[in-house]
């Protein structure tokens, strides 16, 4: 189905209540691959993505390259740890995605700083159906802007659209807002945790959850 517009969804904290679960598993995996001192201030890193943060922490302490083999080991372990946890949706997530796809001229795609396998598991856990091309994660892309740009490009191909008339980025974090601003796309915030700072930094709309989401 051809779509005129597009919504780019973040996953952790936006569609799934998985931020704490992910950060816990992420820290445990860093320790498992040999990191002794884990800087848990993840917001302080230049790029808020799994691939970049893991690489920076590992290479800084181990003085060894964070190779593709090590990345794969890290991603596999991270996914296995998350699979032991119950992943719950942000209220209204599944219904919203289905409604957008079936009843509106908005297409959807997913752009996340998470590594791919954990991201897929989270979406599948809450019953969201999607094609592989609709999900872009941080496996081989460090910068969130480039992740979102790739997701938009993939969506253009998937929906057979040369250029979307309107693009909205939906996320729960300040990095989501800043990324949207850097790419000159609209932004809608989700959640209460970062609501104040999102509004302070210029977000016009921040919903408590996705039950009340309106375009």
CATH, residue 178: 3.40.50.1000
Per-residue pLDDT of the chain (215 residues; tens, 9 = 90+): 789 999 999 999 999 999 999 999 999 999 999 998 887 666 677 888 999 999 999 999 899 999 999 999 999 999 999 999 999 999 999 999 999 999 999 999 999 999 999 999 999 999 999 999 999 999 999 999 999 999 999 999 999 999 999 999 999 999 999 999 999 999 999 999 999 999 999 999 999 999 999 88
Same domain, 113 and 173: yes
Whether 187 is covered by a domain: the verdict is yes
Q: Pick the last residue of a domain from 58, 83, 108.
A: 83
- Where in the sequence is the domain holding 10, given as residue range(s)? 5-17+89-207
Same domain, 79 and 26: yes
Whether 203 is covered by a domain: the verdict is yes
Same domain, 121 and 197: yes
Same domain, 10 and 49: no
Whether 214 is covered by a domain: the verdict is no
Same domain, 72 and 53: yes
The whole-angstrom separation of Cα 203 and Cα 171 is: 11
The whole-angstrom separation of Cα 209 and Cα 192 is: 8
Whether 215 is covered by a domain: the verdict is no
Same domain, 77 and 114: no
Q: Pick the last residue of a domain from 83, 112, 133.
A: 83
HEC string for the chain: CCCCEEEEECCECCCECCHHHHHHHHHHHHHHCCCCCCCCCHHHCCCCCHHHHHHHHHHHHHCCCCCHHHHHHHHHHHHHHHHCCCCCECCCHHHHHHHHHHHCCEEEEEECCCCHHHHHHHHHHCCCCCCHHHEECCCCCCCHHHHHHHHHHHHHHHCCCCCCCEEEEEECCHHHHHHHHHCCCEEEEECCCCHHHHHHCCCCCEECCCCCCCC
Same domain, 115 and 193: yes
Total tally of structural domains belonging to the chain: 2
Same domain, 95 and 170: yes
Same domain, 144 and 194: yes
Same domain, 109 and 45: no
């Amino acid at each position: 189905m051809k779509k005129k517009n597009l919504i780019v969804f973040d996953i952790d904290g936006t569609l799934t209540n998985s931020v704490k679960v992910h950060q816990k598993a992420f820290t445990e995996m860093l320790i498992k691959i040999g990191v002794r001192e884990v800087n848990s201030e993840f917001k302080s890193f230049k790029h808020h993505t799994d691939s970049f943060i893991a690489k920076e922490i590992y290479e800084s302490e181990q003085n060894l390259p964070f190779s593709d083999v090590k990345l794969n080991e890290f991603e596999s372990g991270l996914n296995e740890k998350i699979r032991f946890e119950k992943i719950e949706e942000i209220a209204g997530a599944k219904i919203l995605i289905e409604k957008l796809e079936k009843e509106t001229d908005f297409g959807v795609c997913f752009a996340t700083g998470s590594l791919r396998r954990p991201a897929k598991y989270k979406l599948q856990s809450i019953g969201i159906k999607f094609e592989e091309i609709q999900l872009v994660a941080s496996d081989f892309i460090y910068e969130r802007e480039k992740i979102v740009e790739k997701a938009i490009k993939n969506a253009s191909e998937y929906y057979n659209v040369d250029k979307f008339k309107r693009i909205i980025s939906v996320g729960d974090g300040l990095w989501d807002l800043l990324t949207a601003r850097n790419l000159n796309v609209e932004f809608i915030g989700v959640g209460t945790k970062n609501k104040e700072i999102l509004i302070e930094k210029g977000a016009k709309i921040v919903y408590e959850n996705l039950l009340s989401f309106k375009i």
